[in-house]
Structure 1
Amino acid sequence: MRFLTFILFSLVSLTAAAQADFQKKLQRQLIMAEDGATITIEAGTYTISGSLSLEGKKNIVIRGAGMDKTILSFKGQTDGAEGLRVSNAEHIVLENLTVQDAKGDAIKTMNVNGITFKNLKAEWTGEPKSTNGAYGLYPVMCQNVLIEGCIAIGASDAGIYVGQSKNIIVRNSKAYHNVAGIEIENSLIADVYDNESTENTGGILVFDLPDLVQKKGGNVRVYNNNIHHNNFPNFAPKGNIVAGVQQGTGVMILATNQVEIFNNKIIGNNSIGTSIISFLMTERPIKDKEYYPYPTGIYIHDNVYERDRVRYQGQGRMGQLFKYKLRFGKKVPHIIYDGIVDSKTLENGQVKPESRICVRNNQNGSFVNLDAANNFKNVSRDASAFDCTHSALKQAVVSMK
């Protein structure tokens, strides 16, 4: 028995030593890589105890043997926050691997011009919980961002998140069991299409938030996506902005401008199909004097809406409002506009054409204007005042070389 115990202990020790050697070798490769290099990670599951980082490089490819074939596991991570971090770089490709159970964000890229996430999975295993990392795939303050063929699972904020960036494409990807499936925040010129976002708290979010370096996003197109059954209970940490996203939200547009939502299937989201709201609706203080809290130039058209005949599932103030004050019951409209208007956008009592909220030609697209600015006194289901169009937005073009 003692001999068997010794053998087992020796095997465990050898495995731990091999994993530590792998981590050191991989980090050394990331540090020593010359511009233009390809770093290949063979198939296998590797236990990593600290963040991996690539800094100041150009034209680097980090390539695994395939999603679910090359797995970097950060379960029990003791050093650093991110799983993999890439910063101050140009033309980086990350592909064909999985990052699991990072202490913080799974894959974060910052100040990168030309970043490709391809056939990656970012996940937290086990039941989704507030102690999971905030973001799965997390490019921030980047330009020319391509996220393609990726999967994000279990993030306590957003599975696929693009923040304060410019020229963005998110396509052919899937997000589930996150608080927010896909989020575009304070970003310019983004196309989000041919994705599936399901079983999150909220399917796709387009936000502008205060207190960030890049103040105002816009020119965001969300189209040809399957945004369905996002009824997962919200597990974001208390105080997080997405902790206010209502369980059962398909699409949420918060305080941003020039957003076009079209040709999507927005189905089975049992609180709100699409909401268009001002930051004022959150009742959070605004200390950023340069922040603009109103949504403007929004165009919701040619989407398909369906929902189960159930009562509004969301909690909090919005839930109380719908259930008890407005008494929508099982007939909460699919498209909800809070009706809070910036007086500076008015001309002769009407919103200027470029700032209007336009809603047109949506299948089953019932609508309500909550008139929140007037304490919900004149709630209206009449969408005729919002039957308008906007010019097509600029297509996102991502340059990688």
Structure 2
Amino acid sequence: MRKLVMPLSYAALPLFLLLGACSKSPDTDSAKMQAASDDAAFQKKLQEQLLDAKPGSVIEIPAGKHHLTSGLTLRVHGVTIRGAGMDKTVLSFKDQVTGPEGLLVYANNFTIENLTIEDSKGDGLKINDGENITIRGVKVQWTGGPKVTNGAYGIYPVKTTNVLIEDSAAIGASDAGIYVGQSKNVVVRRNRAEQNVAGIEIENTIDADVYENTATNNTGGILVFNMPNLSQAGYGTRVYKNKVFANNLGNFAAKGAAVASVPAGSGVVVNSNSKVEIFDNDVSDSQTANVIISSYFSTGYFSEKGVSPDYDPYPRAIYVYGNRFKGGGDSPDGLDLKALKIAMFGLNGHFPDVIWDGYVDTKTFVNGAIPANDRLCVQNGDVSVLNVDGPNKYKNPKNDSAAYRCELPKLKPVSIPQLAENATAKG
């Protein structure tokens, strides 16, 4: 710059400094190129480790934020992927070009722990058709806030058996943060779900324990669903000792998704599932209702294939007891529910803690009533149930407590090998 002949005025000084700063851009560009080169080398090495893995392999991923441009796949049984810590090892897929998932796994006896997967193009961590799956200390998130363009599922085991998801987190999924579908023998514990459409969702799954989780600032906190045309129907889920509060986030699911019908302000939702226990939870400030029990007919979900004739659209044997409810029901989502709330409870009133859509399977009635073991039972202090009379478009809603004072057989705790291994290790 000293070779300039024309004198510099004071007014030109900022431009001169700017030009001076720009003169450092080669160093900046060089640093960026080096970082890109390092990321490419890291990605190549990690992909090779996944391809070359053998049963018993432990793939250690060092601390740091690692930028990847393509999704990862593992197809070898008995592998562990381990980071240096949930907030220390970060796999960022923000610039992902190929592969819909962040990490896709087809394997048995798989463990992943102590890392973060963020900003994947599609699902964050998907595990398909595996047995003995452990997900521990894993965060899956989308960092740009709740958006329909975010991946649908954060932590996503499907068609799996013996699943443990613990001490993990899911943030920003446009469908479900932690989702377990069409699986058997599942434990979901001590996790946090936030800013998802569904915080935690158990769908078409047999025998699941969901406990000691925190779900907040989702559209719906914890969901237990059965959807049609899937490989199995679910039953036997226990939802207990969870903290489910202020799940009032506007629904940002893709149009046509099953969870697109979940009203903002839903605490715990059971839809078309059976043998579900909801107990010993702290559920509060759900603006539609703290607990919602509903049938497939209330979802608005439409399948072009139609509905399989063996699909059961009704919730059966739902037992709600011993929970601590607070607030909620004061600003339900949807014009129909708002109008119903005002008509029944006044402008400043609120829905009761439990809402039921009122759909029943009259074909199974015994002496004109729902069979005893298929009932909705609520043993929760003075909590009442609002039957909104969905079949008649809310024309004859009823708020009652005595009609639901009943008991159901208790479900057994879920047993999976990982729990026994943990107990042995601690002993």
Which of 252, 258, 261 is the aligned partner of 2:269? Answer: 252
User: Which structure dedicates a bigger proportion of its chain to strand?
Assistant: 1
Aligned to 2:16: none
Q: How far apart, in 2, do the equivalents of 1:316 and 1:174 lie?
A: 31
Alpha-carbon offset, residue 316 of structure 1: 5.3
Contact residue 341 and residue 350 of structure 2 kept, 8 A: no
Q: Deviations over 1:161-195 (max 9, x none)?
A: 00000000000111111111100000000000011
Aligned to 2:104: 85
Which of 396, 401, 409 is the aligned partner of 1:378? Answer: 396
Q: How far apart, in 2, do the equivalents of 1:92 and 1:271 lie?
A: 39
Alpha-carbon offset, residue 4 of structure 1: 3.0
Aligned to 2:29: 9
Contact residue 276 and residue 318 of structure 2 kept, 8 A: yes
Q: Give the gaps of 5 or more residues in structure 2.
A: 1-19, 422-427
What SS class does the counterpart of residue 129 from structure 2 fall into? strand
Aligned to 2:292: 275
The list of structure 1 runs, each at least 4 consecutive aligned residues, that deviate by more than 6 angstroms after superposition, is none
Q: How far apart, in 2, do the equivalents of 1:332 and 1:108 lie?
A: 38
Q: Deviations over 1:273-326 (max 9, x none)?
A: 101111112244453222110000110111111115x73241355445445x65
Q: 1:76 to 1:363 in 2, by over 3 A?
A: farther
Q: Deviations over 1:177-224 (max 9, x none)?
A: 11111000000000000111111111000000012122x100000000
Contact residue 306 and residue 364 of structure 1 kept, 8 A: no
Q: How far apart, in 1, do the equivalents of 2:130 and 2:404 lie?
A: 39
Contact residue 261 and residue 301 of structure 2 kept, 8 A: no
Matches within 5 A, 1:354-393: 354-360=373-379, 362-363=380-381, 365-393=383-411
Q: 1:221 to 1:113 in 2, by over 3 A?
A: same
Q: 1:375 to 1:231 in 2, by over 3 A?
A: closer
Aligned to 2:247: 230
Q: 1:81 to 1:302 in 2, by over 3 A?
A: same
Q: How far apart, in 1, do the equivalents of 2:415 and 2:38 lie?
A: 43
Q: Deviations over 1:55-90 (max 9, x none)?
A: 1x2221100000110000000211111101101x11
Contact residue 345 and residue 355 of structure 1 kept, 8 A: no
Aligned to 2:424: none
Which of 138, 156, 173 is the aligned partner of 2:174? Answer: 156
Contact residue 266 and residue 304 of structure 1 kept, 8 A: yes
Q: How far apart, in 2, do the equivalents of 1:209 and 1:132 lie?
A: 22
Matches within 5 A, 1:12-23: 12-23=32-43
Contact residue 304 and residue 363 of structure 1 kept, 8 A: no
Structure 2 letter corresponding to 1:255: S
Matches within 5 A, 1:81-230: 81-87=100-106, 89-214=107-232, 216-230=233-247
Q: How far apart, in 1, do the equivalents of 2:366 and 2:101 lie?
A: 49
Contact residue 105 and residue 136 of structure 1 kept, 8 A: yes
Q: 1:207 to 1:226 in 2, by over 3 A?
A: same
Q: How far apart, in 2, do the equivalents of 1:241 and 1:316 lie?
A: 20
Aligned to 1:43: 63
Larger-Rg structure: 2
Q: 1:342 to 1:51 in 2, by over 3 A?
A: same
Q: How far apart, in 1, do the equivalents of 2:366 and 2:125 lie?
A: 46
Q: 1:219 to 1:24 in 2, by over 3 A?
A: same
The answer to which structure, 1 or 2, has the higher relative contact order (CA under 8 A, 6+ apart) is 1
Contact residue 340 and residue 394 of structure 2 kept, 8 A: no
Alpha-carbon offset, residue 394 of structure 1: 2.2
Alpha-carbon offset, residue 122 of structure 1: 0.5
Q: How far apart, in 2, do the equivalents of 1:316 and 1:54 lie?
A: 47
Q: 1:234 to 1:283 in 2, by over 3 A?
A: closer
Q: How far apart, in 1, do the equivalents of 2:100 and 2:346 lie?
A: 44
What SS class does the counterpart of residue 59 from structure 1 fall into? coil
Structure 2 letter corresponding to 1:262: F
Q: How far apart, in 2, do the equivalents of 1:77 and 1:178 lie?
A: 21
Q: 1:213 to 1:111 in 2, by over 3 A?
A: same
Which of 334, 355, 364 is the aligned partner of 1:336? Answer: 355
Is residue 2:118 matched to residue 1:65? no
Alpha-carbon offset, residue 327 of structure 1: 5.8
Q: 1:21 to 1:228 in 2, by over 3 A?
A: same
Contact residue 289 and residue 332 of structure 2 kept, 8 A: no
Structure 2 letter corresponding to 1:68: D
Contact residue 382 and residue 401 of structure 2 kept, 8 A: no
Q: Deviations over 1:306-358 (max 9, x none)?
A: 115x73241355445445x6565422111011111101220110111121111
Q: 1:374 to 1:4 in 2, by over 3 A?
A: closer
Which of 332, 335, 352 is the aligned partner of 2:371? Answer: 352
Normalised to the residue count of structure 2, the TM-score between the two structures is: 0.89
